[in-house]
Amino acid sequence: MGALEAIRQLIRQGYRARPENLAGMALQAAELLGVTTLVIYVVDHQQRELLPLSSTRSPAGPAIAIDGTLAGRAYSTIVPAPGTLDTGEHTLWVPLLDGSERMGVLHATASGPLDEQSVTDLTTVAAMIGELVVTGDLYSDTIERLRRREPMRLAAEMLRARLPPLTFATSRTVIAGILEPCYDVGGDAFDFAVNGDTAHLASSTPSGTAPPVACAPSSWPP
């Protein structure tokens, strides 16, 4: 019942919410889910760090590296990662997804262990929050500024606006791609389309080296 009510509350608030409101909305949802805190982290464009959204009740904390951390494990494997803080509180990192596109993670803390139902509830709520993050990013620069770790050149700005999702998955296929460097591209690009049973891939690169794009059979979700 807690997860259902949390989703209802997020939907009601989401109609008029700004990206600046999302961190506070997550904290309100935490009360319905029986956890102490819920903090939203979004990934930077190079997929090296996870960056927290802040609010008046939840001041911005430090960025978290993806490599070698529980947060990064949840982001990379798309599987919730439990742990314990130095204070004795129990913690859970839940992947934040838009479909199969990884947007970041949701961090929950609780005074006691989180059972299987709690993990399921938090995963469900994370899916709703992921949708709100994507929607807010369409009409505001708040989340985009946070995800950028350095200025972006005009060519990169224009290209990123035309890229498809960096990750797409069905029960049979996973497609993933990324551009590096992402802040100053030289014309490299990729595109894909999935029509029926056929996946079409295309890449363009003036340098002669194709941007990294992979397509493989899938057993998604893991």
Cβ density class 69-105: b for 16+ within 10 Å, e for less: bbbbbbbeebebbeeeeeeeebbbbbbbbbebbbbbb
CATH number, residue 107? 3.30.450.40
Question: In the listed set 85, 114, 146, which residue is the last one of a domain according to the structure?
Answer: 146
In-domain check, residue 222: no
> Both 198 and 134 in a single domain?
no
Distance from C-alpha of 122 to C-alpha of 116, rounded to nearest angstrom? 10
pTM of the model: 0.85
In-domain check, residue 169: yes
CA atoms in the 13 A half-sphere facing the CB of 201:
16
pLDDT tens, the chain, 222 aa long: 588 999 999 999 998 889 999 999 999 999 999 999 999 999 999 999 999 998 766 666 789 999 999 999 999 999 999 999 888 899 999 999 988 889 999 999 999 999 999 999 999 999 999 999 999 988 899 999 999 988 888 888 888 888 888 888 888 888 888 877 788 876 678 889 888 888 888 887 665 445 555 555 554 444
